[in-house]
Amino acid sequence: MRARAGMTLLELIVALAITGVAVSGGYSAFAQLADRRTQAATTADAVARSAAIRATLATWLAGARLTIEEDDIVFRGIDGVHRDPLGDAPDDELTFFTSARTPLGNGGTIIRLFVERGDTTEHGLVADLAAWHGTDRMHIVLDSAVGGMDAQFLSTALGADAWSSSWVSSTILPAGARVTLSARPGDTLAPLIRAPITVSLENGR
């Protein structure tokens, strides 16, 4: 008896159907894998960006200095509250001189940190930078989702640690600074941004 060669039309249709199902399943799995890789990359980027913002703020604060040559170099932390129908938010402002490297260089920079609000295209946590010697200036939006900033300052002058909500001095730095950021109404902040940033100021007391 001679063996039959080839496939019948029915067998070909069944084979094509099985192949189509397999290819479809493989494509679906590949698409899910690609989506997960995209989500993982987005999450990793957000974490890296949050870590960079924290590191930048901590480095600038740790480099805070007072200078004996210039009377107008003041460490200034002002306590404030922004009233809003959707809920009040801490609205502190922090101005200080830092010897840490900034986008303006490492020759010393005066930094003003505050939260920009309103209908402007630039809102959130903002840093205004001004070169100590020179005319260079820079305006940087660090995180547009930030809606509030609460700054506290550590004093050990009386022998006991005490945190205060404001500090203004051209002769004495606080022993430490703690900055806590909160989100704008309707927005969320990454955990690394929400966590308080506490810095020891080595020249403080």
Number of domains in the chain: 1
Average pLDDT over residues 22-35: 66
Percentage above 70 pLDDT, the chain: 75
Question: Smallest Cα–Cα separation from 141: which of 86, 78, 196, 184?
Answer: 184
**Start-to-end CA span in the chain (Å):** 104
Question: Smallest Cα–Cα separation from 56: which of 143, 135, 119?
Answer: 143
Cα separation, 117 vs 17, in Å, equals: 59
Task: Tokens 């020759």: give the residue.
Answer: 107
Which pLDDT score, from 0 to 100, does residue 168 have? 92
Asked if residue 184 is part of any domain, the answer here is yes
Strand partners, 125: 115, 143
Asked if residue 142 is part of any domain, the answer here is yes
Asked if residue 179 is part of any domain, the answer here is yes
Asked if residue 5 is part of any domain, the answer here is no
Q: E strands, the chain, where?
A: 64-65, 75-78, 81-82, 89-90, 93-98, 109-116, 124-131, 137-143, 146-155, 162-164, 167-169, 176-183, 197-200
Encode pLDDT of 96-145 as tens digits.
999 999 999 988 899 999 999 876 667 899 999 999 888 899 999 999 88
Asked if residue 21 is part of any domain, the answer here is no
Asked if residue 29 is part of any domain, the answer here is no
Tokens matching residue 5 = 């060669």
Asked if residue 136 is part of any domain, the answer here is yes
Encode pLDDT of 62-101 as tens digits.
999 887 565 568 899 999 998 888 778 889 999 999 999 9
Asked if residue 110 is part of any domain, the answer here is yes
Domain limits for position 76: 58-200
